[in-house]
Amino acid sequence: MMQKDNTNNRNKKGFTLLELVVAVSLIGILLGGGFVRYSKVTRSAQKEINRANMVMIQKTFFQYFYRMHLNGNPHFPPTPQNTDKLMDTPWCSTVIDSNMALTTPNDLFANKKVPTNNMGNPFSYETFMEPDTIMGGTAYTILIKDLDTDSPTNGEIYRFSI
């Protein structure tokens, strides 16, 4: 009777099915955790970009206000007249004050475009005057909001006053 030689099977190079399944499972777990972390970091970065864009709008509009104040007519760009007060393309291309200059909101920015949120949608903008109870006189106020439901800064409102 002949015995089967098992030494050949042990010397074969390669992986067993179990080793392959374990390796693929570990890679899947690592990639899954990495993807979740990547999504959180990406969302956080988008939120910071949106906030920076809102502050850029604020600083640029304040700069415009100061220039107009030196000319004797302090004012911010007017509130958009559309339903949600969005700084949309027609508003961004409309002359702010034809008595002073033919400047549009787009012209106030270095790249000639009012910043938008990370989704490319415009922010909401409103300007108004209110009594300044601390210093007396009038406070000029602007509100910048992100109304885009897909944006990480949806619902955030920035209020700035002079």
pLDDT digits (tens, 9 = 90+) for 87-132: 999 999 999 987 877 899 999 999 999 999 999 999 999 999 988 8
Residue 136 — pLDDT band, cuts 50, 70, 90? Answer: confident
**Cα angle at 23 between 22 and 27, to 5 degrees?**
115
What's the pLDDT tens digit per position in 22-76?
A: 888 888 888 777 777 778 888 899 999 999 999 999 999 999 999 999 988 889 9
Residue 4 — pLDDT band, cuts 50, 70, 90? Answer: low
Q: Which residues pair with 144 in a beta bridge?
A: 125, 158
From residue 22, give the alpha-carbon distance in Å to each of 11, 13, 26, 35: 21, 18, 6, 20
